[in-house]
Amino acid sequence: MNDKVRVANRIQSDLQAVCPELLAITNKLSNLWFLRFLTCRDELTQLARLQRSTLLKVRGIGQKYTRTIQQWQRKASFSSEASYVGPMIISDARRILELLSQIHILDEALAELADRSELACRIASIGGFGNTCVAELAGEIGTTKRFTSEGSLALYVGMSPLSKDSGQHHGSKCPRQVNQRAKGAMMTAVARHINFVPQSRAYYDKKRAEGKGSQSSGACSWSPSGAGDVVNG
């Protein structure tokens, strides 16, 4: 995933320099149809001359995207760097397609393993927790028998704050002694969770209204609705 993000950021930067109008035809660089469009020719400038019949043969490009591309083609222009930056853009687009295929295979394998795990099935019962986050959390936690309470588990996955009260200062901070992989999975899952569970969304909005930051109100100081069942069984 990190490699995909890195390569995608590089493509976006290169396209912005070489042909920003081409980048503007999609709202999401990782759209499969756009990546296949970028890679259907060996030279970037050739994309501006593709016929409608050729565009429709590219998987994922239907009538709608064909019209969008043709609108771009009418005014397409490339900077002088296109001759040497273009091949790098195409190579990176092919790399992202390869990575997406590998990620899909891994996701299927993770989902199969998670189905065999009692802990993963418990975590999956929390609204908004997707297969990848569920599998990663179950793998990093291992067994709930390692933890004496819900609080110790929350501390391990970075969801429990530590007090930093001092004199007249009152506040909290996230502990450093956490499993960073589990915390990353929790942050992603929690971000989706609040859109699935109205009670959690209401709690999150309440904390934001109180002046809490998005991370403190959605993660370190908050345990998702139903998360206690992971420990309590």
Domain boundary among 89, 112, 135: 112
What type of residue sits at position 13?
Answer: S
Q: Are 73 and 153 found together in one domain?
A: no
Closest CA to 22 of 74, 62, 57: 74
Closest CA to 205 of 223, 217, 190, 220: 217
- Which whole number is the average pLDDT over 114-128? 86
Q: Are 131 and 226 found together in one domain?
A: yes
- Which whole number is the average pLDDT over 88-97? 95
Q: How many CB atoms within 10 Å of residue 189?
A: 22
pLDDT at 214 exceeding the cut of 80: no
- Which whole number is the average pLDDT over 80-85? 92
Q: Are 106 and 124 found together in one domain?
A: no
- Which whole number is the average pLDDT over 1-27? 90
* Candidate from 12-21, 129-138, 140-149, 155-164 with smallest mean pLDDT: 155-164
Q: Are 47 and 98 found together in one domain?
A: yes
Q: Are 86 and 41 found together in one domain?
A: yes
Range of the domain at 20: 2-112
Q: Are 87 and 139 found together in one domain?
A: no
Tell the burial category of 57 from Cβ atoms under 10 Å away from its Cβ (0-12, 13-18, 19+).
Answer: exposed
pLDDT at 65 exceeding the cut of 90: yes
Paired sense of beta strands 172-173 and 162-163, if any: antiparallel
Choice between 67 and 144, residue whose per-residue pLDDT is larger: 67
Domain boundary among 93, 112, 131: 112
Phi, psi of 227 (to 5 degrees): -65, -25
To the question of pTM greater than 0.75 for the whole model, the response is no
Q: What is the pLDDT of residues 150-199, one digit of tens each?
A: 888 888 888 776 665 565 656 556 666 788 888 888 888 888 888 888 88
- Domain count along the chain: 2
d(CA 131, CA 120): 9
Q: Are 65 and 123 found together in one domain?
A: no
The encoded tokens of residue 133 equal 């986050």
Could you tell me where the beta strands, DSSP code E, fall in the chain?
A: 162-163, 172-173
Q: Are 188 and 97 found together in one domain?
A: no
d(CA 14, CA 123): 40
Q: Are 54 and 81 found together in one domain?
A: yes
Q: Are 204 and 142 found together in one domain?
A: yes
Mean pLDDT of the chain: 84
| pLDDT the model gives residue 159 | 78
The encoded tokens of residue 46 equal 């050739």
Residues 6+ apart with CB under 8 A from 20: none
Q: Are 104 and 145 found together in one domain?
A: no
Domain boundary among 85, 112, 139: 112
Q: How does DSSP classify residue 146?
A: G
Q: Are 75 and 127 found together in one domain?
A: no
Per-residue CA distances from 65 to 50, 93, 137 (Å): 13, 18, 38
